[in-house]
Amino acid sequence: MIASEILHFLKEFHQCDIADVSVTGGGSINNCFSYLAKGEKFFLKYNDSRQFPDIIHFDEEGLSAIAATNTIATPSVVACENVGNYEVLVLPFIEQERPGKLFWEQFGQNLAALHFKEAPFYGWQHDNYIGSLHQSNRQQKQYLPFLVQERLQKQIALANRNNSLSEKDNAAFEQLFKQLPDIIPEAQASLVHGDLWSGNFVVGKGQTPYLIDPSIHYSFRETDLAFTYLFGGFHQKFYEAYEESFPLSPGFQERIGIYNLYPLLVHLNLFGNSYLHSIRDVLKKIS
């Protein structure tokens, strides 16, 4: 059930009683519900601010940053507030459809339009989260230092504190860092979703693609595309539409594993050693 303080806030905010409250899917970090107010359906997400400070506010910030580009839809923010010890985010509830060819083509085109807008640096104005882990967004002028220092090395350090990596694993990463200038092409920074797996988009009315739950920052667009392959990949029409709209540099398929070392390390640090085999497979292919 919704915490009583939040229920009171919703009644005051909407100036009416709240009806048809239901638990909805929303991942393992937040409490998520749908409800009706004055006949309109809303989505509610909240969290204990003492456990994950500002995580809900960073979610709102990411949705707003994407929306400001006018390239791809996000749910409009109805409310984002601190209520007692809770952070609360209210969005319109998006009724979902089954994805078809039109959706995947539009999704690819819209994501390409988002990535086409250049950014002034790699990183963000402040740190935020990837899942429930701290994400370092210290600004860098070039992509490779950002990839190594703010993404891979931060998660490697955490994995070593958890005794998850061997000396051989660490040596393999050091070898990879030496090879990266010969592997990764020159990169222009753009706004990226940052956590673009199949659970973080919604198929809205009329096959409209919506992005949700961003881990917002500026980075190389190939990292967003690589993330889509992490758990099996999206529909081929998505990739064809993206490539037609904003062609990738040759050799992208061979770079996917390198980009996905970051989310794999995140999963290693969050969920344990079942992800270690995938990390070692990528490192072995590069060595």
Enzyme catalytic residues: 195
d(C-alpha 34, C-alpha 96), whole Å: 14
- What's at 154, amino acid-wise? K
Q: How far is CA 132 from CA 1, 29, 56, 128, in A?
A: 23, 7, 11, 9
- Please answer whether residues 160 and 196 qualify as being in contact, where contact means their C-beta atoms are separated by less than 8 angstroms: no
Q: H-type helices in 117-196, by residue range?
A: 143-145, 153-161, 167-183
DSSP label at 75?
P
The length of the chain is 287
> d(Cα 38, Cα 210) in Å, to the nearest integer?
24
> CA 18, CA 97: separation in Å to the nearest integer?
26
Q: What is the dihedral of CA 219, 221, 222, 224, to 10 degrees?
A: 90
Note whether 80 and 56 are within 8 A (CB). Answer: yes
CA quadruple 44, 49, 52, 57: dihedral sign: positive
